[in-house]
Structure 1
Amino acid sequence: MAEIVTYFSLTVANKPGEGAKLLTSLKDAGINMLAFWGYPVKGKKAQLDIAPTDPKAFTKAAKKLGLEVSAKQSSLYVAGADQPGTVAESLAKLAAAGISVRAAQALSTGDGKFAVLIQVADDDVKKAKKALK
């Protein structure tokens, strides 16, 4: 079963220590995250996408820290028993519903469980949740 989760994006310099500095600031502000992923973007920048467990607390902390974050965005969070093809099945369900996936980040926890965050167009989020039932 899929859950809709909120995430935010922000851009930092793509150099050693920038992610650690940002995450430490958020930790010190008491922010817990469901997920975090970062990747290089054009120029010498990196985009960080953060799915906080408490979006309101995150936006408040980000403002206090002077961070420029995107408007809230939605992603789908799917977790369960880790078996071969589990993520493929989720993506196939979305394809069958005519939904394009913008990005997906999957992880096995090593103890028989997995989780995947799936980004789709904002207009497709509710349709995607229904497709992943």
Structure 2
Amino acid sequence: MRIGELAQTTGVDVETIRYYEKTGLLPSPPRQANGYRDYGAHHGERLTFIRHCRALDMPLAEIGRLLDFTNQPEADCGDINRLVDNQLARVRARLKSLRTLEQQLAALRARCRTGQVAADCGILHALVAAAHGEAGEAP
């Protein structure tokens, strides 16, 4: 199949497929006599695997390591567990950061409960004061 068909089948953009080939995540397919790439079912399976890992927000380098394990079925899976544990730790850290962000936005929103003119907006006043503080100026 050609790259457009592979993209449509897997839901992966054509440019992304080319990038994965360039970085070695996806093996280069053989070329047809007319020079077009000729992708097989294994390319689609590998792209689907990569896409699923990306949906789990895994970095490409770690996806590459996981793909290496698919070619070594007898290898110990301890490293795979560590990869997933590390990803889980990153996700948990991001969740903590997002909860902090949520609290900051809620506190900011609480500064302006009713509709009023922008000159009296507590949110704008807080943001301006924070900007002055970051610039080293007194609010």
Report the TM range for the smaller structure's normalisation.
under 0.3
Q: Which has the larger radius of gyration?
A: 2
Whose strand proportion is higher, 1 or 2? 1
Which structure has more RCO (C-alpha within 8 Å, separation ≥ 6)?
1
Return the TM-score normalized by structure 1: 0.21
Whose helix proportion is higher, 1 or 2? 2
